[in-house]
Amino acid sequence: MRTSTGWRWLAILLAGLALVAAGCGGSDDEAAVDETTATDTTGTAGGGQAAEQEITVNWGAEPPSLDPGLASDTTSGNILLNIMDPLVKLGDDLEPVPSLAESWETSEDGKTVTFKLRDDGKWTNGDPVIAKDFEYSWKRTVSPELAADYAYQFYGIVGAQEYNGCKKQCDALRDKMGVKAVDKTTLQVKLTTAQPWFVQQAAHHSFLAVHRPTVEKYKAKWTEAKNIVTNGPFKLQRWEHNANIDIVKNEKWRDADSVTLTRVNGRIITDGTTAVQAFEAGEIDVNPNLPTEEIPTIKETPEYAQYTGLGTYYYGVNVKNITDVNQRRAMSLAINRREIIDNVAQADQLPTTGFTPKGMPGFETLNPDSPWQPENGDLEQAKQLMAKAKNPKKTITLLLNDSPGHREIAVAIQAAWKQLGLTVKIKQQEWAQFLEFIGPPPDKSVDVYRLGWIGDYVDAINFLELWTCKSGNNSTNYCDKSYDALVEKARRTEDNDARYELYGQLEQKLGGQDGAMPILPIYWYTYTEQERSTIKDTYERNLLDQVDLTKVEVEEES
Helix H, strand E, coil C: the string for 257-320 is: HHCCCCEEEEECCCCHHHHHHHHHCCCCCEECCCCHHHHHHHHCCCCEEEEEEEEEEEEEECCC
Compute the least distance from the CB of residue 529 to other proteins, in Å.
18
Residue 332: its H or E element: helix 325-333
Binding residues among 184-223 for other proteins as defined by CB under 8 A: 220-223
Residue 384 contacts by C-beta under 8 Å, 6 or more apart in sequence?
Answer: none
Tell me how crowded residue 218 is: count the other CB atoms within 10 A of its CB. 15
Nearer to other proteins, 59 or 104 (CB): 59
**Polymer length of the chain:** 558
Rounded Cα distance between 501 and 362, Å, is 9
> Which range binds other proteins by CB under 8 A, 3-11, 173-181, 302-310, 360-368?
3-11
Based on CB atoms, which residue is closest to other proteins, 33 or 498? 33
Helix (H) or strand (E) holding 236: strand 234-240
Q: How far apart, in Å, are the Cα atoms of 63 and each of 227, 243, 432, 521?
A: 17, 11, 19, 29
117-156: contacts with other proteins (CB under 8 A)? 144-149, 151-152, 155
Q: Across-strand partners of 373?
A: none
Nearest to other proteins of 105, 436 (CB atom): 436
Q: Which of 31, 51, 391, 432 binds other proteins (CB under 8 A)?
A: 432
Minimum CB separation of residue 19 from other proteins in Å reads: 6
Helical spans, DSSP H, in 46-147: 74-83, 131-142
Closest CA to 370 of 481, 259, 490, 515: 515
Site string (241-280) toward other proteins, x via CB under 8 A = xxx-----------------------xxxxx-xxx-xx-x
Report how far residue 211's alpha carbon sits from residue 131's, in angstroms, rounded to the nearest whole number. 12
Ramachandran class of 47: left when φ > 0, alpha when ψ lies in -120 to 50, beta otherwise = left
Of the two residues 2 and 390, which places its CB atom closer to other proteins in the complex? 2
Q: Which of 489, 481, 525 lies closest to 356, judged by CA?
A: 525
Task: Specify the DSSP class assigned to residue 345.
Answer: I
Size of residue set near other proteins by CB under 8 A? 78
Residue 147 CB, nearest distance to other proteins (Å)?
4
What is the 8-class DSSP label of residue 442? P
- Which of 260, 471, 505, 538 contacts other proteins by CB under 8 A? 471
For residue 521, say if its preceding peptide bond is cis, omega within 30 degrees of 0.
Answer: no
The residues in 27-86 that bind other proteins, with binding defined as CB under 8 A, are 27, 33, 36-37, 62, 64-67, 70, 72-73
Interface of this chain with other proteins, residues 151 to 180, rule: CB under 8 A: 151-152, 155, 161, 164-165
Q: Of 85-93, 126-134, 426-434, 494-502, which part binds other proteins (CB under 8 A)?
A: 426-434
**CB 6 → other proteins: shortest distance, Å?**
5
CB of 210 to other proteins, least distance (A): 12
CB 486 within 8 A of CB 502: yes
160 vs 420 by CB, closer to other proteins: 160
- Looking at the Cβ atoms of 259 and 310, the one nearer to other proteins is 310
- Contact stretch for other proteins (CB under 8 A) within 6-14, 91-99, 120-128, 195-203: 6-14
By CB under 8 A, what part of segment 275-304 binds other proteins?
275, 277-278, 280-281, 283
Residue whose CB is less far from other proteins, 155 or 304:
155
What residues from 448 to 467 belong to the interface with other proteins (CB under 8 A)?
A: 451-453
Nearer to other proteins, 4 or 395 (CB): 4
Neighbours of 435 (CB within 10 A): 13
For β-strands 54-58 and 263-267, DSSP reports them as parallel
Q: Which is nearer to other proteins, 30 or 342 (CB)?
A: 30
Contact stretch for other proteins (CB under 8 A) within 4-12, 101-109, 116-124, 334-342: 4-12
Q: Tell me if 1 contacts other proteins by CB under 8 A.
A: yes
